Structure 1
């Protein structure tokens, strides 16, 4: 069922189960945070984050996602506002946690901030095959993390990872050193098994590239944290 969801376009990809800090300084997003804080139930303080393909202005009333003044990826993540630090000048530092994916159909930019017409995506159940693939992908990641640590001269990408295949796939998607296009492909994957296979192939390719060019990878290490909430 299509529903309306406030939107916060970003130049990055956010995943379900992942905690993401944001600095809010533009007036339209300050208005969004103020409106969210006005909701008495913290569970209702939700909005959608979707990655920007190109452009920087929100679309006008009734503009499609592709033909508005801003080109947005059509798959994004519903996030919940979990923490706020206000500044005297009206800015906010906020904490969010991803809850589930959505598909964006239309953007309305006529209000104080953009609102999207979206369909929420339910993650398919996993099976034994997915569990086996999760173990294979985790083993590849441990090799990748060890090799990257030896290149960097110390531990990197440290921290405990979830064992649940779906949450593991989201956590690795946010943690591994991937391009934005690769992250968006992972977000759009139809199920956990597909996402784990994509991750494993990306990690193997990255390790092969490390052998050829030792200075790789050039992608910055993700500062996002995983959360089961």
Structure 2
């Protein structure tokens, strides 16, 4: 479960039908013997980031146990860090985990029952932290080039680069363009949630006002301490966090596994938000054309944590 070489590790693997995203809460009921053992082993560790397993989405129509796991699984996943372990009378567990770090699968290690190895899948992975940093920087460079004339990105006449205002101007342009993009996605997502609510209820009376209020941050919890709509609450939590917003939309919107996986695999927040803008516009068009949604609104959003 520990590091083998810098930037890589061998971790337990937990295939699921959909990707997990950083910061998103994942509740699970554990009943298979091999995963009971996994949770017992992780539960024996001190609380912290080492209480983790890797979640990787299964390709649609593939059975992990009947084909080579590396072919049945997508190649980018996210760790799940255990926050709560509750044993059940039948020997299983209820657990709550939170999405942690993204990784890329390098190799899937099959259990060998004769060797005394753990009975669950494990994988050698590489962490994507450095890739994320490089992609974020590349995305910012693209935004600076697209958002401002070249004359404002360098020093003026008679000025050294260190003395010129160019760097500050570029930084402001980059930050502003990201805020505009995030605001656009936030507005599209709130309209999308509202459209789903209307179609689920059959009328505008159930339009979630606190979802729309979350756009401006004005939404409050209900009277007498009642909790606001979870989607609105999550939107408020990430109101000033473009990266958190991108993960909320990726996890909560009613997208295909392939669409969600594409968002998980994108390392740059700016590019992820750009893709989400296109996907949300597509989904809004489909909602308004077909007039139906495939699942209840209660399944729409999962809790989000900043940790």
* Pairwise same-fold verdict (TM > 0.5): yes
Residue 64 of structure 1 and its aligned partner are, at CA, apart by 6.9
Pick one of 183, 186, 189 that aligns with 1:135: 183
Tell me the matched-pair count. 221
Residue 148 of structure 1 and its aligned partner are, at CA, apart by 2.1
5+ residue gaps, structure 1: none
2:94 alignment partner, SS class:
strand
Pick one of 250, 268, 272 that aligns with 1:173: 250
Hey, which of these two has a bigger chunk of strand by percent? 1
Residue 202 of structure 1 and its aligned partner are, at CA, apart by 1.1
Hey, which of these two has a bigger chunk of helix by percent? 2
Are the aligned partners of 1:58 and 1:114 in contact in 2 as well (CA < 8 Å)?
Answer: no
TM-score using structure 2 length: 0.67
Residue 149 of structure 1 and its aligned partner are, at CA, apart by 2.1
Q: 1:58 to 1:44 in 2, by over 3 A?
A: farther
TM-score using structure 1 length: 0.89
Structure number with greater CO (CA < 8 Å, separation at least 6) is 1
Residue 224 of structure 1 and its aligned partner are, at CA, apart by 2.2
Larger Rg: 2
Are the aligned partners of 2:253 and 2:301 in contact in 1 as well (CA < 8 Å)?
Answer: no
Pick one of 253, 270, 282 that aligns with 1:205: 282
In 1, the alpha carbon distance for the partners of 2:94 and 2:301 equals 15
Find the counterpart in structure 2 of residue 113 from structure 1.
120
Select between 49-58 and 109-118 the one with higher mean Cα deviation: 49-58
In 2, the alpha carbon distance for the partners of 1:213 and 1:41 equals 47
Aligned residue runs from structure 1 range 16-27, under 5 A: 16-27=22-33
5+ residue gaps, structure 2: 1-6, 112-117, 141-173, 209-228
